[in-house]
């Protein structure tokens, strides 16, 4: 239990990837708001006067056309023209805002395509769960953070309006167009200051969100072990697979060494051991290979192909197979039995050599 509660280890890349597939990423809503608001302010500052001029021209044309309407069909034409003109004015602004919102999310987390967040979760309809969420410490913390943000924005607006106060008495004496232009400039200046304040708040919130996400993604020792087990399999199974691979490698090496043996001792079918002895170089015969079942049959085939003598001795074959390792020399307890076979093999080899030389 302590291992499950003690989450002090950073999340693994695998867990982060699984969370990303579920749409769980470190994302700050304040960053999106700041970028969208900043883009809107820049758009308004760059296109504000042109937008207002186009709106005035459209309003004047609308009033002139409305005065000339004397038939229902003309009224529908006027409504259609009004809709087209409104779309022409508003669509570039809304398209810019939408692109800014998409880029704000992509810049934070990269492309995240997941349908998991929009799947129905009936637990959210549980009143007890909703009440618990409302009365949680997290909700109180978010409320306090929102109050701090609102306070900062109010102070920024107050400072900006205080700086603009000396201009207000001059507005009454300006012509309408100059009044409109000055008003647009003042609103843009106020919004730019708000955008800077929102940018600072967004950077702080982004750092906090990433830190909080990393904290929530921490893993315990038990979770790390379970992840390794789920991804790579049970350690006992992996250990058994390693043993099987080593056994297969050992068998393949044994088969390759059988061809250089001097004698093959068999059970006669279940076990086979291959011995090599160099007179004057070895103190005792050496075990080159051993096998059982199918491997023993393969060793007998190699011995037959290489014309290696095959001796059937049940007791000796089993004793060597179970009590000796590969490359080990025959122990003194088996000297007598092995010596008789080695002497016979050497005698048969000398007889064969003498017959060949004659």
Residues 286, 275: contact at Cβ < 8 Å?
yes
Rounded to the nearest 5 degrees, what angle is found at the Cα of 321, between the Cα atoms of 315 and 324?
115
For 94-147, what is each residue's pLDDT tens digit? Answer: 898 899 888 888 888 777 766 655 666 656 666 666 666 666 666 777 788 788
Asked whether 65 and 78 are in contact (CB, 8 A), the reply is yes
Helix axes 29-67, 72-109, angle to 10 degrees: 170
Question: What residue spans of 165-232 are helical by DSSP H?
Answer: 168-171, 176-216, 221-232
For residues 321 and 299, the answer to whether their CB atoms sit within 8 Å is no
The DSSP H or E segment spanning 129 is: helix 127-134
Eight-state DSSP code of residue 257:
H
Compare 200 and 354 and report the one with higher pLDDT.
200
pLDDT band at 162 (very low <50, low <70, confident <90, very high): confident
Share of the chain above pLDDT 90, in %: 2
Give the sign of the dihedral formed by CA 282, CA 284, CA 285, CA 287: negative
Q: Which is higher by pLDDT, 281 or 138?
A: 281
Residue 312 CB contacts under 8 Å (≥ 6 apart), including other chains: 265, 266, 267, 268
DSSP state of 68: T
Asked if residue 255 lies in contact with residue 238, where contact means CB atoms within 8 angstroms, the answer is: no
pLDDT at residue number 131: 64
Q: How far apart are the first and last CA of the chain?
A: 85
What pLDDT does 140 receive? 75
The residue ranking higher by pLDDT, 190 or 140, is 190
According to DSSP, the β-strands at 271-276 and 263-266 are: antiparallel
Give me the domains of the chain, ranges plus CATH numbers.
2-111+127-230 (no CATH), 250-357 (3.40.1690.10)
Minimal CA–CA distance to 217: which of 10, 35, 58, 1? 10
Nearest to 272 by CA among 285, 255, 256: 255
| Stated length of the chain | 358
Provide the pLDDT for residue 298. Answer: 87
Which residue did the predictor score with more confidence, 197 or 59? 197
Give the SS3 label for residue 303.
helix
Evaluate whether 317 touches 272 at the Cβ level (below 8 Å): yes
Instruction: Find the helix packing angle between 235-258 and 294-306, rounded to 10°.
Output: 20
Going by pLDDT thresholds of 50, 70 and 90, the confidence category of residue 232 is: low
d(Cα 174, Cα 117) in Å, to the nearest integer?
Answer: 54
| Percentage of the chain lying above the pLDDT 70 cut | 79
pLDDT tier, 45 (very low <50, low <70, confident <90, very high otherwise) = confident
CB 198, CB 21: distance < 8 Å: no
Q: Of 109-113, 155-159, 250-254, where does the model show the most confidence?
A: 155-159
Radius of gyration (C-alpha) of the chain in whole angstroms:
44
Average pLDDT, the chain: 79
């Amino acid at each position: 239990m302590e291992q499950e509660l003690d989450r002090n280890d950073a999340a693994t890349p695998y867990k982060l990837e699984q969370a990303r597939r579920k749409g769980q990423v470190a994302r700050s809503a304040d960053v999106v708001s700041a970028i969208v608001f900043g883009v809107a302010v820049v758009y308004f500052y760059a296109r504000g006067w042109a937008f207002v001029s186009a709106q005035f021209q459209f309003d004047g044309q609308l009033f002139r056309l409305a005065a000339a309407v004397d038939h229902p069909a003309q009224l529908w034409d006027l409504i259609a023209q009004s809709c087209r003109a409104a779309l022409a004015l508003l669509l570039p602004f809304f398209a810019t805002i939408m692109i800014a919102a998409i880029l704000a999310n992509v810049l934070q987390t990269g492309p995240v395509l997941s349908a998991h967040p929009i799947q129905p979760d009936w637990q959210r309809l549980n009143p007890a769960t909703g009440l618990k969420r409302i009365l949680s410490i997290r909700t109180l913390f978010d409320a306090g953070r929102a109050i701090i943000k609102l306070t900062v924005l109010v102070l920024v607006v107050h400072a900006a309006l205080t700086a603009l106060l000396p201009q207000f008495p001059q507005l009454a004496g300006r012509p309408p167009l100059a009044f409109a232009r000055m008003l647009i400039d003042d609103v843009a200046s106020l919004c730019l200051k708000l955008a800077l304040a929102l940018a600072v708040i967004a950077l702080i919130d982004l750092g906090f969100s990433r830190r909080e996400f990393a904290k929530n993604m921490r893993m315990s020792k038990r979770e790390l072990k379970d992840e390794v087990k789920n991804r790579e399999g049970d350690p006992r199974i992996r250990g058994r697979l390693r043993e099987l691979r080593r056994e297969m490698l050992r068998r393949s090496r044994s088969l390759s060494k059988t061809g250089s043996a001097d004698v093959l001792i068999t059970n006669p079918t279940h076990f086979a051991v291959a011995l090599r002895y160099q007179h004057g170089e070895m103190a005792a015969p050496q075990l080159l290979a051993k096998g059982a079942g199918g491997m023993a049959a393969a060793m007998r085939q190699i011995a037959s192909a290489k014309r290696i003598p095959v001796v059937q001795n049940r007791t000796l074959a089993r004793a060597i197979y179970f009590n000796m390792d590969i490359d080990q020399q025959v122990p003194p307890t088996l000297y007598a039995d092995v010596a008789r076979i080695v002497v016979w093999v050497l005698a048969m080899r000398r007889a064969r050599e003498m017959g060949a030389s004659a």
